[in-house]
Copies of this chain bind each other. A is one copy, B any other.
Amino acid sequence: VKQPGAKKQFERAVIVGVGLLGGSIGMALRERKLAKMVVGVSRKQSNLAAAIERGAIDMSSPSLEEACQGADLAIICTPVQTVAAHVVRCAQQMPNGGLITDVGSTKQNIVEAVAQTSAIAAFVGSHPLAGSEKSGVEYAKEDLLENRLVVVTPGLEPARLNQGQLDLAVRAESLWHALGARTMRMSPSEHDHAVARTSHLPHLLASALAGATPETVLPLAASGWCDTTRVASGGAELWRQIFEDNRTPIVSALEEFSAILQQWLDALRNGDSNRLTELLIEGKQKRDSLGN
């Protein structure tokens, strides 16, 4: 899906962390000719070799500092607890109005940590809702972001954004649009509370359900079980960091959900057909409103 006539927006784009998402972004930047050079950074040499092989980056560097020399774009695609530190290191090498963003599944802690440094002048948080239970650059694809939603979270308090923060948000949004995605603007805190319900609680339930299923009955697990637990295959370390990072909103979401489970339990114990029907219809209507 090349954009005919689109000019290269970036001289040098750096991707820190070349997994599924970082690799896919690199492929899209290259295929759509949005950057003259895409440089990948990773601690793992094997990741970098695979990323070059896959066409996700033009060149690799074991040194983030070296990679960021002359860069005007850096996208941090590492697990959430390391994002802020990478932003700060990139910013130190990109003093001249470069754009730094990330793909972390949580935003409040990342933006808060960056906001305590001068790196905030170059950084705006992003979260592309394009994850997968699969990880690794071998699953990367150029169109992973196509029509997906990216939440962009400028500043910490939406009511008090300065012009610099608004400019960064517009630049990040135009980047995501060029990569084929849609965008939505939210505050970091609003984002974290929303994804606690749409992503983190579902992951927790999928993982708890998979873990709770006795080995002896697994042969009877069919498509329903497989769909409901699919995301539990996601990387445990990645998700531990997300759970810790977004602990408070997730605890609230889980407490609310437990109260709803209690309603199901009561309806079952009391043989309350009407209540069971109500609960089932409520779930069906909400699910049907979203399509496949």
Question: Which of A82-90, A154-162, A193-201 makes up part of the contact surface?
Answer: A193-201
Which B residues lie within 8 Å of A258 (CB)? 258, 261-262, 265
Number of this chain's copies in the complex: 2
Question: Which of A19-27, A41-49, A94-102, A229-237 makes up part of the contact surface?
Answer: A229-237
Say yes or no: A284 contacts B232, CB within 8 Å: yes
Say yes or no: B239 contacts A280, CB within 8 Å: yes
Say yes or no: A231 contacts B228, CB within 8 Å: yes
Q: Select one of B131, B218, B287 contacting A290, CB under 8 A.
A: B218
Q: Please report the C-alpha to C-alpha distance between residue A149 and residue B220 in the assembled complex, in whole angstroms.
A: 8
Chain A interface size range:
35 or more
Which B residues lie within 8 Å of A166 (CB)? none
Instruction: Report A's interface with B, CB cutoff 8 A.
Output: 129-132, 148-149, 151, 184, 193-195, 197-199, 201-237, 239-240, 243-244, 247, 250-251, 254-258, 260-262, 264-265, 268-269, 271, 273, 276-277, 279-284, 286-290, 292
